Structure 1
């Protein structure tokens, strides 16, 4: 998700509102910020199971319920997990970090609460909380047709922890990748080895990643990161592209 340095005004407003109100507003408005979510039904066929790794307030969980028989949302922040569980009782909410091994991890929390920034086990300067760490494979999911990962720099461990599930079910993968957080090439190489080809949506259609200079684009659009969520909803352009769709091209 974009926006780890919100404006003071948006931080104060988000902190003052009831969590349920913030969650409902985020879920309703987020398709304006991410056309990948707005166009979900156009590129993801109906599937048995969809997985939302890094659910946040549940904007993707909301969309996935429309295209999947079962939705599993994975979110380590207790307040956010409660929000998703309360809004969608039919969704299986797993309060944990998806990683490459089971155990515990220290999760950095945004100082103003989840409505003012993002949490991560890879980086942060604020307070930390101990959370459960697990692998996607140990959840024993079946019929996975789509998986979205937004884990703030922990993509490689999360993917490796789901290798058996991904190689077996060959789901579409939507992964947030940002060069400012970590090099993206290792993730591209890993998924290429599993037979996946990456695409991006700079405008309204998916295009192969090889036709789009993602790193140069992200460097040129860094100003968008510091803009408040409200501003990005009102003025969704110019875009900051950070969601990559990986389609299985071959069986490996």
Structure 2
């Protein structure tokens, strides 16, 4: 007997996962780029804890959960977060938080779609508003950090600035997406990469639009 999966209105099934019905651009990219994480994984010395954002619908969190003891994933968009929680419910080592990562905690943000991305559930960008709280990685007081993976639509630099104490303490492998969206927040393309370079990091891979960096010995 086949079990019927109940999907809420406004969502559909995408490769077995709950997905926003209106999305037409995000799903294929998210699923097809999962192998890109191997460029970062091969440089990890331990696999205790990974912080990943944006959480999206949980595809990458689920893949990382196969490797790491604990995955902490962040997704500020409420509709995406609902799907994320649903899709990762059976993975006991995934903690999903409905927050945005930034340089200063205690504030809130809004979200809007990048221009020309009306059907892309992965293209939400941080803006002014009260949709989700902003937290810093440093405020989490993590017990360890082996990999930091950020794909947050141009907001990578603020997230890095809010993680400097944690990065200095654990020297994790760091992967960031950089497709030129950071200028919206006053940072030129490559700003996060350059900041990490001054902090003792070097580039070891550039899969698609991601930059993978490791701390020099």
Instruction: Give the TM-score band, short-chain normalised.
Output: 0.7 to 0.9
- Gaps in structure 1 of 5+ consecutive residues: 1-15, 203-240
1:51-86 deviation per Cα after TM superposition (whole angstroms, max 9, x unaligned)? 111111122101110111111001101121222222
- Gaps in structure 2 of 5+ consecutive residues: 1-8, 20-25
Alignment partner of 1:68: what SS? coil
Aligned to 2:164: 163
Q: Could you state the TM-score of these two structures normalised by the residue count of structure 2?
A: 0.75
Q: How does 1:1-252 map to 2 (within 5 A)?
A: 18-21=11-14, 24=17, 30-37=30-37, 41-89=41-89, 90=92, 91-102=94-105, 103-109=107-113, 112=118, 115=121, 117-121=122-126, 130-179=131-180, 181-182=182-183, 183-201=188-206, 241-250=208-217
CA distance in 2, matches of 1:129, 1:41: 35
Deviation for aligned residue 1:42: 4.0
CA distance in 2, matches of 1:42, 1:27: 25
Deviation for aligned residue 1:31: 4.8
CA distance in 2, matches of 1:19, 1:47: 33
Greater per-residue helix proportion: 1
CA distance in 2, matches of 1:144, 1:62: 18
Alignment partner of 1:121: what SS? strand
| Structure with greater contact order relative to length (CA < 8 Å, sep ≥ 6) | 1
Any conservation in 2 of the 1:53–1:151 contact (CA below 8 Å)? yes
CA distance in 2, matches of 1:160, 1:198: 18
Matched residue pairs, number? 192
1:88-110 deviation per Cα after TM superposition (whole angstroms, max 9, x unaligned)? 23211110110011211121147
Structure 1 residues 84, 133: CA separation in 2 closer, same or farther (over 3 Å shift)? same
Any conservation in 1 of the 2:40–2:173 contact (CA below 8 Å)? no
CA distance in 2, matches of 1:52, 1:28: 19
Deviation for aligned residue 1:162: 0.9
Q: Could you state the TM-score of these two structures normalised by the residue count of structure 1?
A: 0.66
Any conservation in 1 of the 2:56–2:75 contact (CA below 8 Å)? yes
